[in-house]
Each structure stands twice: as structure tokens, then as C-alpha cells.
Amino acid sequence: MRRGSCGLCNSGPGVGCGALAKSAKRPHIAEHIAIASIALENLWMLSMAEVKRARARFPVPTERIPAILVVEDEILLRLAISDYLRECGFKVYEAGAAAEAIEILESSRAAIDLVFSDVRIPGGMDGFGLAQWIRNRRPGVPIILASGDAKKSEAAKELCENEPFFAKPYDITRLVAHMRTLIQTRKAKDGSL
């Protein structure tokens, strides 16, 4: 850079664009001011667009976000399902066993709108037992069971003919669509959410 030239464009005499008050009359300084002004305006418009997009992702504060309890003992599968459901706009609670699920269902901190459970989970109660517990103690809460075991899948279809069941591997988009339908049906039926 030449001594005495503009620090931004490296042209013309002067003290650089830092002395804007004294130098605004110089053509190259005025050009930099105009460019900076346009850049700031574009940055502001971009940031406003980001704010609008961020607001669009979140529900209206007066609306409650539907909550789903995912009961799956395979941690990686549970995390993947839970992350996907969060991306779909749900609040997600996670449990690795029926006892954890019951603790969440009984707590006052969680208003669960739907339970999605694997049939085969560790502990004294499997997914069928959890479904029965929910039907007896939380009759309005829909439950969806899933299993990768062919024998369990057949048993689930017989035992849970009124409950939705998904065989693994399941189509996650179809599963989410079914979850939304069940939650909306419940909302319409009893005015919850």
C-alpha cells in the first residue's frame, strides 16, 4: 500500500477512509461509504429474514407443542428417532425401559400426548405391559408399538388390534404422519393441547 493512500481501495491521496468526517467530499471515500451502506442494508435485510425464518420454525407461544414419549432400549435408535421427531416440531421425552416411561408419565412436568414404544424393552414390563398400563391409567393417551421380532409383530397385531403397530424397519415419514393423525384426533375429541 502506498503511503497516504486509501486503506480500502489503495488508491488516491489522502489519509484513508478512517477520517470520514473530513474526507467525505473525496470521490473514492464517498464510494466506500456508499458500498458500506449497501452492505449494511443487505446484512440487516438478511438478518431480518433469518429472524422471520426462526419465528416460522417455532409455534405461537400460546400453543402447546405436542409431546411424544419414545420408549426404546437401543440408544442409537432412540436418539435417531427422537432427533427426527424434534425436527418435525414435537417435544420429545425419552425412556429406555417401561419403568422410566411410567415415571415420566406420572410426573407433573410432562404432559405426554402420545407414546411410541418398542415391544421388547428391558425390565419387568415389556411394551405390551406398558400399553396395558397406559390404557388403564392414561386412557386418552394413544400408544404406538413397534417391533423387529416377527413373532412379537404377529402377537402385537392380535393383541393390539385397536392400537397402531409398526414392524421394524418402519417408514419414519409414515410413522410421523400417523402420530400427527392420532394427536389431532385426540385434540379434536377432547379439546386438549
Residues of the domain holding 53: 20-57
In 3D, which of 134, 119, 126 has the Cα closest to residue 166? 119
Is 124 a member of any domain? yes
- What CATH number does residue 150 fall under? 3.40.50.2300
pLDDT at 110: 79
pLDDT at 161: 54
pTM, 2 dp: 0.64
pLDDT at 179: 94
Phi, psi (deg, nearest 5) at residue 96: -100, -10
Is 160 a member of any domain? yes
pLDDT at 131: 92
pLDDT at 42: 52
- Are 94 and 186 members of one domain? yes
Contact 35, 43 (CB under 8 A): no
What are 69's strand-pairing partners?
93, 115
Is 8 a member of any domain? no
- Are 163 and 74 members of one domain? yes
pLDDT at 121: 93
Number of domains in the chain: 2
Is 140 a member of any domain? yes
- Strand 114-118 and strand 91-95: the pairing is unpaired
- Are 26 and 107 members of one domain? no
Is 73 a member of any domain? yes
- Are 139 and 53 members of one domain? no
Is 1 a member of any domain? no
Residues 6+ apart with CB under 8 A from 126: 98, 119, 120
Contact 143, 163 (CB under 8 A): yes
What are 91's strand-pairing partners?
67
- Are 163 and 121 members of one domain? yes
- Are 106 and 42 members of one domain? no
Fill in the DSSP letter of residue 7: T
Is 62 a member of any domain? no
Splitting the chain (193 residues) into consecutive groups of 10 residues, what average pLDDT does each group show?
Answer: 50 48 54 56 53 52 84 94 95 97 89 94 92 92 86 61 73 92 87 58
